[in-house]
Amino acid sequence: MVLYGKNSVLERLKTNPKSIRKVFLQDNFTAPNIEKLIKANNISTEHLSSRALSRIKPAKDLQGIAAKIDRFEYSSFYDLFNQPPNEQPTLIFLDRIYDPQNLGAIIRTAACFGGLAVVIPRFKACEVNETVLHVASGGENYVSVSMVSNLSNAIIATKERGYWIIGAEVSDDAEDINKVSLPFPLAIVLGSEGQGVRYGVGKHLDIKVRIPMKGAKLSFNVTMACAIFCHEISKPRPQI
């Protein structure tokens, strides 16, 4: 895989330099903090013209740097539960998120709030690709991302471990997120834009929640909705 952009490469250098095989720098590239880490980790580098760098990774916002890295490694789903009780992550289940921009932004959001993990289905959804990593802007280094074959089965397994499952809905019977006392440990299910959470997944929800909108009756982008829910989830939790 090719990682590109200053922040994406910097965070990888800081957290997992062994996954970087080679770094390509544009001839006029200058970033002392990045160059220092490259040298400290003895990573092979090559300086290229802007045109040659674009052949390594055709993208608009290379920012003068690209790196060949190992393929993304997903976390084992069941390893997500092997944490002390007061450190159990809140899980974000994503149902049919196809846009890599959305997946990358969600991973970045989860990294910023902390205490979260992302679970995606193997089929009919976006995987973690180069675009996702670029949009995540290094967030993938701080968030566990698991891929499961069957999202419903994964949710059932999560419930069996004592988790409450809430789902983002726009239906009239969904409760106002500001008025719900969120139970922990917790998992939230976010569905695709336009179609929402599938029935087969939605039937496993313990609580349906919605984001109140006093303005225009439009809808939030899934990444915006995720950020709002993560903010609510990150508020002080009851001690276990």
Average pLDDT, the chain: 93
What sections of the chain are H helices per DSSP? 6-15, 32-40, 50-56, 100-113, 130-136, 151-160, 199-202, 222-233
Please spell the DSSP secondary structure of 28-70, one letter per residue.
T---HHHHHHHHHTT-EEEEE-HHHHHHHS--TT-TTEEEEEP
Q: Give the domain-ending residue among 24, 51, 69.
A: 69
Whole-model pTM over 0.85: yes
Q: Is residue 237 predicted with pLDDT exceeding 60?
A: no
| Residue 10: domain span | 2-69
Q: Give the domain-ending residue among 36, 69, 102.
A: 69
What is the CATH classification number for the domain harbouring 141?
3.40.1280.10
CA-to-CA distance for 100 and 108, rounded, in angstroms?
A: 12
- Assess whether 62 and 151 both reside in one domain: no
Neighbours of 51 (CB within 10 A): 8
Which has the higher per-residue pLDDT, 197 or 171? 197
Q: Is residue 181 predicted with pLDDT exceeding 60?
A: yes
How many domains does the structure of the chain reveal?
2
Q: Write down the pLDDT at residue 220.
A: 84
- Assess whether 130 and 58 both reside in one domain: no
Q: Is the residue at 240 inside a domain?
A: no
Q: Is residue 201 predicted with pLDDT exceeding 60?
A: yes
- Assess whether 99 and 199 both reside in one domain: yes
- Assess whether 11 and 87 both reside in one domain: no
Determine which of 39-53, 115-129, 131-145, 209-223 has the lowest per-residue pLDDT on average: 209-223
Q: Is residue 131 predicted with pLDDT exceeding 80?
A: yes
CA-to-CA distance for 217 and 56, rounded, in angstroms?
A: 44
- Assess whether 144 and 189 both reside in one domain: yes
**pLDDT grade, residue 240 (50/70/90)?**
very low
Q: Is residue 239 predicted with pLDDT exceeding 60?
A: no
What is the side-by-side strand order in the sheet with 164-168? 144-148, 116-121, 90-95, 186-191, 164-168, 207-210, 175-176
- Assess whether 98 and 51 both reside in one domain: no
- Assess whether 52 and 128 both reside in one domain: no
For residue 230, give both structure tokens. 């993560």
Q: Write down the pLDDT at residue 236.
A: 65
CA-to-CA distance for 90 and 185, rounded, in angstroms?
A: 7
Q: Which amino acid is at 187?
A: A
- Assess whether 85 and 202 both reside in one domain: yes
- Assess whether 211 and 99 both reside in one domain: yes
Q: Write down the pLDDT at residue 77.
A: 98
